[in-house]
Chains A and B, each alone.
Chain A
Amino acid sequence: MADFETPEVKEYLDMPELKPGAMSHSKPFVSRDEFQGPLGFPGELVDDWQNVALAKLAELLNTNRGLKVFMDSCVKCGACTDKCHYFLGTSDPRNMPVARQDLLRNVYRRYFTWPGRLFPKLVGAQDLTEDVLDQWYSYFHQCSECRRCSVYCPYGIDTAEITMAAREVMNAVGKGQKYSNEIIGKVFKIGNNLGLPQPALLDTLEGLEEEVKEDTGVDVRYPLDEKGADVLLVTPSADFFAEPHVDGLIGYGKVFHQAGISWTLSSHASEAANFGLFIGSQENMRKIAMRVREAAEELGVKRIVFGECGHAWRVAYSFLNTLAGPFDFLDPRYPVPQHICEVTHELIQRGALTLDKSANDHRRVTFHDSCNVARASRMGNTPGGQFTIPREIIQAVCNHYYDMPPDTIGEATFCCGGGGGLLTDDLMELRVKGALPRMQALRQVVEQEGVTHLAAICAICKSQFAKVLPYYGFEMDQIVSVHQLVSDAIVLEPARQNT
């Protein structure tokens, strides 16, 4: 199937020999009228697209102070160059974060700075031509908005913000990306990325109840649209649909069951993901986030908990209150929102779950920090909680846990290679190559510690790894959900009443 070569995993992650233009052919399918319309974008490239693009860029520069600063402040120090997984995996110098940013920055200089207006050649300013727009489309879909480069930038330039701005400008002129935009439309129409209508959700959840009953002999419930539940669980729709995601969902249900917490899923907010973030569209992000609020009000819950989804947690933790708040109708004793890992961690801390670690003795586990959780959010009450909490959960349910090398985890974590709206088959070459740094780090703990499984708390990471692991000689089922590990270790008792 593949018409490209999987990069070789070496002992060390080297700075690759540059191959200019190596990925200039990589472009996702362009969105169509039917997917653009519902998001408020033109269906095809508009006639006076240059003017529209520059007007949109002007608007963004005026409303987003950060973007203006990022456009002005790069000093070309080079600290970011070798920090991007797509650069390391593709060798294309345009994928050095600074070079990718410059595709937008050069146009900014030409039209928004006086030296660029008067002496464009002297300052590297660039006219906005069709060729430039093509390069934007290609390379701004080779950034997963993971923000690893930003950690190393002495000016704190946030590459993700630049990518988001470029994508927003492209949507404004009618050159959107099919994958993300079709999905956002499905959330508006049906309630989730997959387009699972309520009857299909019900059927799927009933099946899970039967499965858990068969496996454990205990009636664990997976309720949908139940008014009066205490907790609304908002989780990525991949948790209903795919493996290993569904094993995580099974785990959340077991945790709630064992803790005696009444909970429900919602068909209206049957999606934690918010692809409005990926395309940089505040308006679409707000519309998706509002569904969570509407569901919480409709069902009369007291708490909102998010399942394992990386960028969803960024949106939830950092923006939910601004987008859809205030949440003054919820129980003030709990943070709004909570992450499922915070819930499980707290229960483990106070001994509310009986856990049999030996159930995971056939696994030697490492943890992949998902970029949006690692660098754009937090968990718990202490700095770095987003790193310690998932690891403490895993260590509470597994006897064998090993971290990957320190420069590939925590704040320095490498993206899985499929984040930011790039988890689509038309970008498979990019996804496989972009996974190289993570695969290299994984190979190291596999060889040195005998690690057998990679655990994650993000639907995109899980799907991406299930797909790319085989390219690197691993098995697709070596990726697991963190709550799958919890699920296997938890010792269930028959239904408890609310505590």
Chain B
Amino acid sequence: MPIEVNGKSYETDEEGYLANLSDWNEDLANAMAQADGAELDSNHWEVINFLREYYDEYQIAPAVRVLTKAIGKKLGPDKGNSKYLYELFPYGPAKQACKYAGLPKPTGCV
């Protein structure tokens, strides 16, 4: 089920994750969030940008403790915890934020 943004069609998998990582752009992330009834603010973008940077280096999304530590450094220690991340991404930071960041869904016992 492809997703349409700015007149262009992007291929996704069964769960709406982008099929080709290189297709990603910011408008696409916003469109995915809107489809879920969410709006991305600067805090969401801090998470999304960190996920993309980390993926670039390690070919995998960061583990939860790596992510909370990084976000705590960027947004303040009161936000460096998974409770805050779940406020931002109620369906789970690993899965929902990865989707908006154009990364594959984490698999396994998570």
Per-position binary interface string of chain A over residues 227-245, scored 1 when its CB falls under 8 Å from any chain B CB and 0 otherwise: 0000000001110111101
Q: Kindly state whether residue B69 has any CB partner on chain A within 8 Å.
A: yes
Quote the shortest CB–CB distance from A136 to chain B (angstroms).
20
Quote the shortest CB–CB distance from B104 to chain A (angstroms).
8
Instruction: Using known A-B contacts A204-B65, A241-B106, A243-B82, determine if residue A196 contacts B95 with beta carbons closer than 8 Å.
Output: no
Whether the pair B109, A200 counts as a contact (CB closer than 8 A) is no
Q: Which of B1-9, B24-32, B45-53, B55-63 touches A?
A: B55-63
Whether the pair A200, B58 counts as a contact (CB closer than 8 A) is yes
Q: Chain A's interface: helix, strand, loop or mixed, by majority?
A: helix
Q: Mark out the residues of chain A between 407 and 466 whose CB falls within 8 Å of any chain B CB in the assembled complex.
A: 423, 425-426, 459-460, 462-463
Whether the pair A194, B107 counts as a contact (CB closer than 8 A) is yes
Classify chain B: how many residues form its interface, as a range: 20 to 34
Whether the pair B66, A203 counts as a contact (CB closer than 8 A) is yes
Q: Kindly state whether residue B76 has any CB partner on chain A within 8 Å.
A: no
How many residues does chain A have at the interface if contact means C-beta atoms less than 8 Å apart? 40
Q: Mark out the residues of chain B between 57 and 110 whose CB falls within 8 Å of any chain A CB in the assembled complex.
A: 57-60, 62-66, 69, 82-83, 86, 91, 94-95, 106-110
Instruction: Using known A-B contacts A204-B66, A207-B65, determine if residue A195 contacts B60 with beta carbons closer than 8 Å.
Output: yes
Identify which of B82, B91, B109 contacts A238 (C-beta below 8 A).
Answer: B109
Q: Kindly state whether residue B15 has any CB partner on chain A within 8 Å.
A: yes
Quote the shortest CB–CB distance from A277 to chain B (angstroms).
13
Q: Kindly state whether residue A103 has any CB partner on chain B within 8 Å.
A: no
Q: Which residue of A lies closest to B59 (CB)?
A: A197
CB-CB under 8 A from A426, the residues of chain B are 14-15
Identify which of A1, A29, A199, A246 contacts B63 (C-beta below 8 A).
Answer: A246
CB-CB under 8 A from B83, the residues of chain A are 477
Q: Mark out the residues of chain A between 171 and 206 whose CB falls within 8 Å of any chain B CB in the assembled complex.
A: 178-179, 182-183, 186, 192-197, 199-200, 203-204
CB-CB under 8 A from A186, the residues of chain B are 107-108
Quote the shortest CB–CB distance from A240 to chain B (angstroms).
5
CB-CB under 8 A from A283, the residues of chain B are none
Q: How far is the CA of A476 from the CA of B87 in the complex (A)?
A: 13
Q: How far is the CA of A192 from the CA of B110 in the complex (A)?
A: 12
List chain A positions with a Cβ less than 8 A from chain B. 1, 29, 178-179, 182-183, 186, 192-197, 199-200, 203-204, 207-208, 211, 236-238, 240-243, 245-246, 273, 309, 423, 425-426, 459-460, 462-463, 476-477
Q: How far is the CA of A211 from the CA of B66 in the complex (A)?
A: 10
Instruction: Using known A-B contacts A197-B60, A203-B58, A243-B82, determine if residue A463 contacts B109 with beta carbons closer than 8 Å.
Output: yes
The contact sample of 24 A-B pairs, CB cut-off 8 A, is A29-B14, A182-B107, A183-B107, A186-B107, A195-B60, A195-B108, A197-B60, A199-B57, A199-B58, A200-B62, A204-B65, A207-B63, A207-B66, A208-B65, A236-B109, A237-B109, A240-B63, A241-B106, A242-B64, A242-B94, A246-B64, A273-B109, A425-B15, A477-B83
Which of B57, B108, B110 has the largest count of A CB atoms less than 10 A from its CB? B108
Quote the shortest CB–CB distance from A91 to chain B (angstroms).
27
Whether the pair B65, A197 counts as a contact (CB closer than 8 A) is no
Identify which of A194, A273, A460 contacts B60 (C-beta below 8 A).
Answer: A194
Identify which of B65, B86, B107 contacts A193 (C-beta below 8 A).
Answer: B107
CB-CB under 8 A from B82, the residues of chain A are 243
CB-CB under 8 A from A178, the residues of chain B are 14
Q: How far is the CA of A129 from the CA of B31 in the complex (A)?
A: 42
CB-CB under 8 A from A207, the residues of chain B are 63, 65-66, 69
Q: Which residue of A lies closest to B92 (CB)?
A: A467
Whether the pair B110, A238 counts as a contact (CB closer than 8 A) is yes
Quote the shortest CB–CB distance from B56 to chain A (angstroms).
12
CB-CB under 8 A from B65, the residues of chain A are 204, 207-208, 211, 243, 246
Q: How far is the CA of A143 from the CA of B63 in the complex (A)?
A: 30
CB-CB under 8 A from A425, the residues of chain B are 15, 95
A211-B69, A242-B109, A463-B109 given; 14 more Cβ-contact pairs under 8 Å = A29-B15, A183-B108, A186-B107, A196-B60, A196-B63, A197-B60, A200-B62, A204-B62, A207-B66, A208-B65, A241-B63, A241-B106, A273-B109, A462-B109
What 9 pairs between A and B have smallest CB-CB spacing?
A: A193-B108, A459-B109, A200-B58, A238-B109, A194-B108, A242-B110, A241-B63, A204-B63, A460-B109
